[in-house]
Structure 1
Amino acid sequence: MYKSAVTSGLIADIGPENWQTLCVIASYMDEQGECFPTQSQIAKGLGISRPAANRRVRKLAEYRWQGRPVIETIRKRSPTGQWENTRYTILPISQLRIFEAEPEDIVRD
């Protein structure tokens, strides 16, 4: 997280639920900001039910900071017609970025 997430007012505006949801989804992102967590993984990370996680993800996807989304969601079907995992892209305006490694004192199995 960049300091500007605080100093720009983003964290105050986004609110605790959207910020928490964004952070859980972002914990799965790669260097390009893309990630594919399941709804169950998101729910577990948030400590809530899957339906509640779905509502929070929808709310986050609708949120706009300075008129722009902080996350992009793309849902598509496989060649057999089944829904695949939603692809999330954490956009730069979110002020989140993945680093090469977590500090050793925070890493948990």
Structure 2
Amino acid sequence: MTDTQRLVSVESQTEYSVTSGATETRIFVKFYVEAVRSGMIADLGPERLQTLIVLASYMGADGICYPTQWQIANSLGIKRETAGRRVAALAEYRWKGQPLILRERKRHPQNKTWESTLYKILPISGLRIFDK
């Protein structure tokens, strides 16, 4: 994907206070005009778009993130169960026939309860993180 086809980017900025010595990291999600012109924003709809933005705020440079459903729910201002449904809807969504995210759920080896979920935001999403 070339720079002119970029749809969304995520950037981080770390600030250092010379007076207190504290650092603060901020995450910025930028939408490019092509995200609208391509129809992706309209097709995603508000709930899937919000969920994608929240997942993006947790992802690393490799596109992988591990937020809990509680973290996702708190970030969206919704119940945990609703967050689970939203993530499932985003995982089922297809843009140009391809998924935007992959979701891999892991079970505890002994009691078989759900232990963790890994999310990977895929390149088809047009979402880039920490581009130079």
Q: TM-score range by the shorter chain?
A: 0.7 to 0.9
Structure number with the higher strand fraction is 2
Q: Where do residues 3-22 of structure 1 align in structure 2 (5 Å cutoff)?
A: 3=32, 4-22=34-52
For the 8 Å contact 1:29–1:35, the answer to whether it is kept is yes
Please state if 1:84 is matched with 2:115: yes
Please state if 1:66 is matched with 2:66: no
Is there any run of 5+ residues in structure 2 with no aligned partner, and where?
Answer: 1-7, 10-31
Q: What's the CA shift string for 1:36-75, capped at 9, x where partnerless?
A: 0000000001000101111111111111111100010001
Q: Where do residues 1-109 of structure 1 align in structure 2 (5 Å cutoff)?
A: 1=8, 3=32, 4-80=34-110, 81-99=112-130
Structure 1 range deviating more: 37-46 or 84-93: 84-93
Which residue number in structure 2 is paired with residue 106 of structure 1? Answer: none
TM-score, normalized by length of structure 1?
0.83
What secondary structure, in the 3-state scheme, does the structure 1 residue paired with 2:128 have?
A: coil
For the 8 Å contact 1:26–1:90, the answer to whether it is kept is yes
Greater radius of gyration (CA)? 2
RMSD: 1.5
The CA deviation at 1:96 is 1.6
- State the identity %: 60
